Structure 1
Amino acid sequence: MTTTSNASGLQPTDALAPETAPLLRQLATRAMGMTGADIERIVRQARLTARREKRALRYEDLEAGLRDYRPTLPYDTRWRYAIHEAGHAVVHHALGLGDVTGLTVDAQDGGYNMLNFSGGSAGTLAWHEDMMAMLMAGRAAELLLLTSASTGSAGADHSDLAKATDLGLAMEAKLGFGGVHPLLYLSHTSPAQALTSDRDLADRVHARIETGLELAMEVIKLNRPPMDALVRALFGAQALDGPAVMAILRRSYD
């Protein structure tokens, strides 16, 4: 089972001509984080450019449009984004959670990653602990390689810390892994209120997040060659599709 689907009705890239699929994957990776309206605007502008020059639309037109839409990031910021997203990918792969289908560091609001999740031991305590480590891996990578963490893992409801908090609360209150009364199912309409009003619960959830951070740091330490290779490649390319990421991760172990 994966977190992605082909619900658009478009032809999957695997069914396209061999020379076309990699190009479309690269464009799709560069478009991560954009809205449909953003992409439509870029395609319209690319077509207009080709029409003015009296030629067919080219891959380079679309790639240039995607690049121009993105902000120009300072060197240090792009390097941090590359470290953050590479951390997620390395831990995800090393813990056997599934394949990585894309990474980018040139999104308007930071980096993005697209990850597939395989079945395996999904649903077990160990699987949820590995998931926690994957969520905390971006922050762990920043701490290890830069000795400081940025707000890239926090500050929004869809952030790494928000997802880790939700997962930790679910493990303690709903999934049967709680340190206190594990067989009770306790659904909270307001997770924030539950954590601020119950100090013991907040401590247990925080401990699970800390454990995930520690596991992520250990995994990255044990996988520095693929980590370093992926950071360099992602920093240079700004966007890597799944096959490119997996090739780097697998090649580093050879």
Structure 2
Amino acid sequence: SFDEARQNAPCILFIDEIDAISSRTSGDTHGSRYGSQVIAGLLEQMDRIGLEEGIMVVGACNHPQHIDPAVLRAGRFDIKIEMPLPSMAMLQHLLAERLQDAFPEDAMLELARDSIGKTAADVDAAVRSARSEARHSGCPLDLQLLRRHLQVMAQEENHDLLYRIAIHEAGHAITSWSYGETITRISLSPSGGTIERDVPPNAGLSADFECQLYIHLAGRAAERLIFGTVSAGAGGSATSDLGKAARMVLAMDFELGLGAFGNGWFGPQDPSRLTACERQRLQERLDYAEDHARALLYPHQQLLKDMAADLVQKREFDAKAVRSWLRDVPRHVDPEPVLDQ
């Protein structure tokens, strides 16, 4: 492939699913020698082609964390772009393109709003499937059929669930904003919410990590503050709010020299192998972080409710809308935690 790219320069060499090459640091010893040879071969080819003009190498994957760090260093893949889920405007454009203006613009806008949380592939597959059913049944393609294939039947929406998810995301947004971060987008769908934020550079002090802990647990704190209960929405995988917060606490203690063991370095910890004392310490740190986030949100309860209600209606806030909602929220505050009464 690299030789073919050289022969056809100027050109783009596109490597799909590049994370399949894996990493020498993954800890998987099965076939490790063969894997190392594959990675070394790729590195050699990348270095050689980097000296030639007119060839751009592009890789795509779903799990960049599985790629060997040497592959991602400067001089090989210099630019890393994370592709978020499509915005409402992107979905509206995609639907209009696929359906060729078969429905009114206002219907497309509402359909795009209800499709937030879907990928471009989801939309593409749903349109093809709906067209196929319409052809086989001899009926015209209508909005109800399209909604059924997109799995966005309006009458089936659980507004109580959407409101809880919106409260959760608004809690993240207010806390993130309070610590000086920029929020570029908030989106809401029945399957969950997302918030896209830019974290400013920091010195890696304990206080910087504490701020991130509060932000990770602010969604859970907002739920407890408004509803008196919490859902499982903050938990789940290692990339969930609780998963990120727990791993951050463990990293501070065992890897970063910012916690219980001072200068000690013990490497990444498996949460399932913690001792009883270590688990208790982890739980206490996370409880404290949630209390702290709840204290920050306490004065903004009405804002939480109003912002969440509007998000349920609109399903998406861009950066301008977020700034409009949060412009009166003070930034860089540090309240004492409010404990349960």
TM over 0.5: yes
Instruction: Indicate whether 1:213 and 2:290 are aligned.
Output: yes
Matches within 5 A, 1:77-156: 77-107=161-191, 111-121=192-202, 123-156=204-237
The alignment of Structure 1 onto Structure 2 pairs a total of residues equal to 229
Q: In structure 2, which of residues 313, 317, 320 is the aligned counterpart of residue 241 of structure 1?
A: 317
Distance of 2:245 and 2:201 partners within structure 1: 21
Matching residue of 2:281: 204
Distance of 1:215 and 1:164 partners within structure 2: 14
Instruction: Indicate whether 1:188 and 2:268 are aligned.
Output: yes
User: 1:110-162: CA deviations, max 9, x gaps?
Assistant: x2213222324252211211111111111111111001111222244332222
Matching residue of 2:71: none
CA contact (8 A) 1:132 1:164 kept: yes
Distance of 1:30 and 1:176 partners within structure 2: 45
Distance of 1:97 and 1:253 partners within structure 2: 12
Between Structure 1 and Structure 2, the one with more helix by share is 1
Instruction: Indicate whether 1:174 and 2:255 are aligned.
Output: yes
SS in 2 for 1:68: coil
Q: 1:69 to 1:206 in 2, by over 3 A?
A: same
Distance of 1:115 and 1:75 partners within structure 2: 23
Letter in 1 for 2:316: L
Query: Among the aligned pairs, what percent are the same residue?
Result: 24
Matching residue of 1:17: none
> Aligned-pair distance for 1:213?
0.4
User: 1:155-182: CA deviations, max 9, x gaps?
Assistant: 44332222211111111111221123x2
Matching residue of 1:16: none
User: 1:56-107: CA deviations, max 9, x gaps?
Assistant: xxxxx99997572799332322221121121111111122233142221322
Matching residue of 2:100: none
CA contact (8 A) 1:89 1:100 kept: no
Distance of 2:202 and 2:132 partners within structure 1: 50
- Gap runs ≥5 in structure 2: 1-79, 95-108, 331-341
SS in 1 for 2:186: strand
Q: 1:105 to 1:21 in 2, by over 3 A?
A: closer
Distance of 2:317 and 2:128 partners within structure 1: 24
SS in 2 for 1:223: helix
SS in 2 for 1:78: helix
Letter in 1 for 2:223: E
Matching residue of 2:305: 228
CA contact (8 A) 1:29 1:240 kept: no
SS in 1 for 2:152: helix
CA contact (8 A) 2:165 2:193 kept: no
CA contact (8 A) 1:133 1:215 kept: yes
CA contact (8 A) 1:103 1:240 kept: yes
